[in-house]
Structure 1
Amino acid sequence: MSVLVEFAMFPTDKGESVSSYVSRIIKMIDESGIPYRLTPMGTVFETETMDEALSIIKKAYELLEPDCNRVYSVVKFDIRKGRSNRLEQKIRSVERKLGKEVKK
């Protein structure tokens, strides 16, 4: 199974720049070893189970909770049985249909 997750999480009580808080979350995801992509508006990652995906979201919140009084988050899931590596494959599929050279 493939659980693709797109999410953003950040404190709303720490001013305009929250990159130091977001970097805590990205470091945790990076150290977890799961595949992910950081984007300007959030992060996409892929796990094999819903429990793993929810665990990452929970850990992200727990990194902010001690010193943040208000945390905003939006989360989207795309769950598909019998597939894996969709973080890469979905992009390649669209690029092929556009006639673009597939990057390896």
Structure 2
Amino acid sequence: MSVLLEMSMFPTDHGESKSKYVAEVINLIRASGYTYQLTPMATIIETKTMSEALNLAGKCYEVLEELDCNRVYATLKFDIRKGHENRMKSKIESIQNHIGKVSL
């Protein structure tokens, strides 16, 4: 099974710039060992199960909680598919098979 999680999570109570806080969340995601891709608007993570994805999202919140964030905004979107894996790479390759190399 493959669970693709697109997630954005940041505090709303700590000024205009959020990069310091987002960096700590990304550091946790990187340390988790899951495949991920940082984009300007969100981070995409691939796990094998829904419980892994939800657990990781909870840990990301805990990072912000430990940084004294009193209000956190988060969006989570899932694409869950049984019988497949490595979809972060294969979904892009599928598009490239139709139109050639794309910008990543």
TM beyond 0.5: yes
Q: Distance in 2 between matches of 1:88 and 1:16?
A: 34
Deviation at 1:101, TM superposition (A): 4.5
In the TM superposition, 1:60-75 aligns within 5 A as 60-66=60-66, 67-75=68-76
Note the residue ranges of structure 2 that are not aligned, 5 or more in a row.
none
Correspondence for 1:20: 20
Separation in 2, partners of 1:101, 1:75: 28
Q: Which runs of 5+ in 1 are unaligned?
A: none
Question: How far apart are residue 93 of structure 1 and its match?
Answer: 0.3
Instruction: Supply the AA of the counterpart residue of 1:32.
Output: S
Distance 1:68 1:4 in 2: 26
CA distance in 2, matches of 1:53, 1:96: 29
d(CA) in 2 for partners of 1:28 and 1:55?
A: 12
Instruction: For residues 19-44 of structure 1, give each alpha carbon's deviation from its aligned partner in whole angstroms, at most 9, with x where no partner exists.
Output: 01001110011111110000000100
- State the AA in 2 paired with 1:60: C
**Percent identity over the alignment?**
56
Question: Is 1:53 aligned to residue 47 of structure 2?
Answer: no
Match of 1:39 in 2: 39
Cα RMSD, aligned residues only: 1.1
Q: State the 1:95 CA deviation.
A: 1.1
Cα distance in 2 between the residues matched to 1:101 and 1:56? 31
TM-score, length basis structure 2: 0.94
Structure 1: 4+ residue segments shifted above 4 A: none
Q: 3-state DSSP class of the match of 1:51?
A: helix
